[in-house]
Amino acid sequence: MDAPVLADMLDFVIAKYNYWGIAALMMIGLYAMIAKNNLVKKIIGMNIFQTAIILFFISIATKWDATIPIIIHGHGAHAHSIHAADYMNPLPHVLMLTAIVVSVATLGVALALAVGIFQRYETLEEDNILEQLKADESNLR
Amino acid sequence: MIWQLDVIILTLVIICGLAAISIRDLLGAAVLFSAYSFMMCLLWAIMGAVDVAFTEASVGAGVSTVFFVAAVFRTTRSSKD
Q: Which H or E run contains A23? A: helix A17-35
Phi, psi of B78 (to 5 degrees): -90, 155
Angle formed at CA B33 by CA A58 and CA B79, multiple of 5 degrees = 140
At A41, the pLDDT band (50, 70, 90 cuts) reads very high
Contacts of A102 (CB under 8 A, 6+ apart): none
Contact flag B74-A100 (C-beta cutoff 8 Å): no
Please say whether the beta carbons of A43 and A110 come within 8 A: yes
Point out the residue among A59, A101, A123 whose CB comes nearest to the CB of B59. Answer: A101
B78 touches chain A (CB under 8 A): no
Listed by number, the residues of chain B in 55-74 with a beta carbon closer than 8 Å to a beta carbon of chain A are 55-56, 59-60, 63-64, 67-68, 70-72, 74
| Model pLDDT for residues A55-99, shown as the tens digit of each residue | 999 999 888 888 888 887 767 666 677 788 888 889 999 999 999
What pLDDT does residue A71 have?
81
Point out the residue among A47, A97, A111 whose CB comes nearest to the CB of B55. Answer: A97
Phi, psi of B79 (to 5 degrees): -140, 150
| Model pLDDT for residues B2-45, shown as the tens digit of each residue | 888 889 999 999 999 999 999 999 999 999 999 999 999 999 99
Nearest CA in chain B to A37: B81
Domains observed in chain A: 3-68+85-140 (1.10.287.3510)
- Strand ranges, E, within B1-81: none
B35 touches chain A (CB under 8 A): no
